Structure 1
């Protein structure tokens, strides 16, 4: 018997598809976004094959370098012949470190060459600039954990031990392939795990990291560096930046307050082992097929993926991740074009106008706050399709082939250094708001609070999100809701803290902010504790995305009603369609712990319950499964 739209909307719309959908063995999910990703991959891989054979012209030197690198990555005959040899010099560099003096002497070179050292630094925009005058500053964060999140280290989380066992066996096997005895390999891996466990208690979990305002903790350069004991932070920072900064923005103060408890004279050997494990883990995918398969064991256990990606596709993914904007520019020009770019830009502007009207008619914001919100809305920078120009850094990427005596690993490390130097070179310079942080071939979109900008890459602008073959109502239920979702991020619990210039600056009256927090808490409560994949949703973790979904649907519904022949049934059905997903249990459980988005089914089902129009369109009443009593319906924007 078919599921009723009135009882489980998502299941009724997507049930037949879910029943017949099969998750490919080298995937952890299928449907929705992933189907579009596969389609983009297929187009691009086919085009690049045509270019390799000379049937398609290579238009730019940067694309030529990408193809050279792709060819190198796909040459598994050479990779198998090289075996583990390309990794050994990198491992030897760490093994030759005997003490803190050795590490501190080489700290700058090791950092530039892509080795993990026990201090994580990066150059990013200052969140408290002077109006439009925003500079890039130095940030320091917590070290990456082996397990996906701090919560996996708790005794009550059985997945943590299971995953750590898989990781341990994988790393021991990798070190054995590199010539270590089982005992030697075990000692190295256990020492690395010991260091990992020593700092895990001081890391923030995913929910804590989702609170952006609490990530901004400026410290003077002197106080930050002098509080660090064994590691020569002054030398490292001034050497990498070429200057001495006034301050460091610390994302996790508690981590650094306890830093000397886990980075000290006594545990040098554990840190050295941690560095060895990290370099082997990060570089094994670029070696022989045997090492690639083995090095992906933990990742597949984490996601529930049954098999490793096929060789050619893995080479494509590796190459594209390095040359992402180069590939994106090609995709955008060929498969999107200037006309579509302008069309979607116009759609975004139209949705901003709808949003402005809704803000003007808002009945809970005071006039002063309302005016500031509209100022911020009108200041939104819009990026659509693909960048007009390629970043200069991509012109520095020159692939060295096997004939030139270079390996895939050496190219990967060389490119990594070029990108790191590019990032460091931005220190003290003005923030470039025109810079893209997704490539055009990415099936996604984003809002940047520090840039106050929204970005819609070309690849998401396809059916079921957007198509000329779909009705306006369907398009508004798809890309319209996505566009308005990204706009709404400017007014979610994190985005609302930033002004029109992208600075952390409170532009709310106390009363309005207090009421906004009450509404946001209602959204937390609506999702908190909902059962999914054997676990429960953390309402605080997913609140920002849920507020954006709610606001996106409000504005898209408004826009739909203004069309010539609005069809609200088609609007809601396409909303449910874009979220259709079939995923492994492992992936669902992982995302439940770390993802700031609610599970796809709940995004589709719970949000529609907040809108009177849904009840009217489908004649939903009190005894139906999709009914939510009016007092519990949440609408913010």
Structure 2
């Protein structure tokens, strides 16, 4: 870990934000948030979070607000204090002074509103003029390659990941893209909400083009919407695009014109850079073919208009206030119901995170992530792994051949906690304090060169796909690894002052969730070496899919709004992760308690008036809550969240996660131990008969 000198000015002044959690009691149960008048068997989510839900308003700059947001805002305050402190660390022998200067200059370039307003549209005009000056189709490949370097959303998206069948090397993936609204449903659905959004989008596009000084703005907007509707018709659904096998379509680069004829792919890749790939992996072949066809058939006027709008959509947040306001009005207010933009310092911080995230993260962990947290979380990972091994060994529906493969994969999991061992190098990134748009463009080019430069190189096993200050976690199937950034290791996810039960219900279940992604409907298609390979017998896969089909059916029945329900197939991977993660975390907790010589008695599964055992406080009841109850409450606490209606509709259509209410209630009703812990009976609304409860891992 870096040993940056602490700069105390402002470091201890962490502002309170709405909804910040009170300091937990020893049990880790946040009783001030609970609504214990609700029967836990009727609505466990409200039982755990009801008072918090009733008294918490979504801030006007948010589309939703919950536990993740509270921790994120706490972390933002810490990061802001670090940036404010950077000018005073120049005398530190350990600090990278030039890197600190860049962080500070990037932040200040966004905060310099006077310079930004004075320049108006001028910084983006040369790029727009180049787009509009495209006189023939032969120039399109080079233009699109240049826009790709600048991070503009194009009709085809490029990404560099491990090759799913050759995980020891990188591959270039081509994915469908090019829509100005979130996905195909917004263009094709006949529901009233989406018809309203299409009309709003048309008006927004025309206003953006007019603000940039383009002529025939309304005609251009009509053409853009028509073009994107045609593209949306060819796009795969979100559910189909989840399929790792269907989206793995390798092609030699020389054969790409046969897959998607009508576009000069050779010229495009030649313009991207000298180290082009010999082969690519096409994720949605029909969409790529439709893209090539549109590029070859649509009038240049329409294509120029399309690219010009996407240039503006990408860079409007870094231009003068009229474009910033118009971009916000559609993309955040109309789509998600957000009432006002975030404070400027938060947007400036987001740019630093985007451009120099690991450099800022290096400073964050030096100040805010104790080394002891790593060791304690690693112990929990060890118990979760042990619990998964125990479950896999005893699964009644799995045969021996598949079981051996599953155990071999589990043994090959790797874990990353807190922060990377090696930090990204930003020495080649030029940042100027008085050039915001130039900074953003240079950041995009620097990021493109970093990722595209991986082609032909050995896979970097130490690379992280999140920064340490990210409040989240992930599983990477190609690396068969689970990753937990430092910022998620805070209360109520992880509280070193709380007992094991609530921590296992919170961060323990998150750990289990990420391991579970290695065994969900898509992650289970990869082996322990990260290779997409069918290691299942046909009979075992069929039994697995019968269980997942039941889970899909359960979640399809959750409808938070009329005509808007959870898509059980789209959210399947996350739901398997939640169910397996919480189930296995409960087993891991029992193992941890048993190893500590304090296994809970049968009576401990119920709330009672038993006093704390001073000699062994984790054994029985703490503050009136049994270990099992604390465990499930720990799970419910981390999912407290409120949504604006527009944002909820967005998430139901686009996101892989069910709303947090169902991530709580939809999981616990499938776990026998929850019924025992809270005396849930067939009279309760969440009750499922034992034969209807889904158990996969």
TM-score when scaled to structure 1? 0.94
- In the TM superposition, 1:166-565 aligns within 5 A as 166-180=200-214, 184-243=216-275, 245-300=277-332, 301-392=334-425, 394-402=426-434, 407-534=435-562, 535-562=564-591, 563=593, 564=598, 565=619
- 1:103 aligns with 140
Moved more, 477-486 or 365-374: 365-374
Relative distance call for 1:119 and 1:553 in structure 2 (3 A) is closer
Residue in structure 2 matched with residue 152 of structure 1 by the alignment: 186
Task: Determine if the alignment matches structure 1 residue 42 to structure 2 residue 77.
Answer: yes
Which residue does 2:109 correspond to in 1?
72
Number of the residue aligned with 1:597: 657
Distance 1:278 1:172, change over 3 A: same
Q: In the superposition, relative to structure 1, how do residues 465 and 178 fare at CA in structure 2: closer, same or farther (>3 Å)?
A: same
Change in Cα spacing, 1:84 to 1:505, as seen in structure 2 (3 Å) is same
Asked whether the 8 Å contact 2:40–2:47 carries over to 1, the reply is: yes
Q: Is the Cα contact below 8 Å between 1:100 and 1:230 reproduced in 2?
A: no
- Aligned 1:605-616 pairs, distance under 5 A: 605-616=665-676
1:565-620 Cα deviation digits (max 9, x unpaired): 26101111111111110111111111111111111001101111111111111111
Within 2, Cα distance between the matches of 1:244 and 1:155?
A: 39
C-alpha change, 1:166 and 1:509, in structure 2 (3 Å) is: same
The separation in 1 between residues aligned to 2:259 and 2:630, in whole angstroms, is: 60
Q: Is the 8 A contact 2:415 2:481 kept in 1?
A: yes
In structure 2, what is the Cα distance between the partners aligned to 1:620 and 1:164? 46
SS in 1 for 2:417: strand
Q: CA deviation at 1:217?
A: 0.9
Q: 1:50·1:56 contact (CA, 8 Å) conserved in 2?
A: no
Note if contact 2:318-2:437 (Cα within 8 Å) is conserved in structure 1.
yes
Q: What's the CA shift for 1:8?
A: 0.9
Deviation of 1:194 after TM superposition, in Å, equals 2.0
For residues 348 and 67 of structure 1, the distance between their equivalents in structure 2, rounded to whole angstroms, comes to 37
The offset of 1:626, in angstroms, is 2.1
For residues 617 and 245 of structure 1, the distance between their equivalents in structure 2, rounded to whole angstroms, comes to 56
Match of 1:7 in 2: 42
Distance 1:209 1:420 in 2: 24
In 2, Cα distance between equivalents of 1:157 and 1:518: 32
DSSP-derived class of the 2:427 partner: helix
Which residue in the other structure is 1:587 paired with? 647
- Residues 160-185 of structure 1, C-alpha deviation per residue, up to 9 Å, x if partnerless? 2222333333332233322345xx22
Residue 268 (structure 1) shift: 2.5
The SS at the match of 2:359 is: helix
Q: Over residues 499-558 of structure 1, what are the superposed CA-to-partner deviations in whole Å (9 max), with x where a residue is unaligned? A: 111111011122211111111111111211321133111111111111111111111111
Residue 625 of structure 1: CA displacement? Answer: 1.1
Contact 2:208 2:309 in 1 (8 A): no
* In structure 2, C-alpha distance between the alignment counterparts of 1:258 and 1:368, rounded to whole Å: 43
Alignment deviations for residues 202-258 of structure 1 (CA, whole Å, 9 cap, x no partner): 101211122222110112322213454443211212342425643221100121344
Q: Report 1:24-39 matches (<5 A).
A: 24-39=59-74
Once the two structures are TM-superposed, the CA of residue 139 in structure 1 deviates from its matched residue by 1.5
Is the contact made by 1:485 and 1:552 (CA closer than 8 Å) also made in structure 2?
yes
Q: 2:64, 2:153 → 1: CA distance?
A: 31
Q: What CA RMSD, in Å, does the superposition of the two structures yield over aligned residues?
A: 2.0
Q: Gapped runs of 5+ residues in structure 2? A: 1-34, 599-618, 621-626
Cα distance in 1 for partners of 2:517, 2:150 equals 36
Contact 1:166/1:297 (8 A) holds in 2 = no
Shift of 1:154: 2.3
- When structure 1 is superposed on structure 2, of 259-268 and 133-142 the one drifting more is 259-268
Relative to structure 1, the CA distance from residue 631 to residue 115 in structure 2 (aligned partners, 3 Å threshold; closer, same or farther) is closer
Name the residue aligned to 2:638: 578
Compute the displacement of 1:413 (Å). 0.7
Are the structure 2 counterparts of residues 220 and 347 from structure 1 closer, same or farther at C-alpha, using a change threshold of 3 Å?
same
- 1:4, 1:344 → 2: CA distance? 33
Q: Which moved more, 1:23-32 or 1:530-539?
A: 530-539
Give the aligned length: 627
Q: Is the 8 A contact 1:241 1:427 kept in 2?
A: no
Q: Bigger CA drift: 258-267 or 415-424?
A: 258-267
Q: Give the SS at the match of 1:574.
A: helix
1:88 corresponds in structure 2 to 125
The residue matched to 1:308 in structure 2 has which SS? coil
TM-score normalised by L of structure 2: 0.86
CA distance in 2, matches of 1:260, 1:486: 37
Counterpart for residue 19 of structure 1:
54
Q: Using the TM superposition, give the Cα deviation of residue 106 of structure 1 relative to its aligned residue in structure 2, in angstroms.
A: 4.4
Q: Secondary structure at the match of 2:670?
A: coil
Alpha-carbon deviations, 1:428-485, whole Å to 9, x = none? 2222222100101011000011111100001111111111221211001100000011
Unaligned runs of 5+ in 1: none
Q: Which residue in the other structure is 1:632 paired with? A: 692
In structure 2, relative to structure 1, the CA distance for the partners of 1:115 and 1:583 (3 Å cut) is closer
Residue 25 (structure 2) aligns with = none
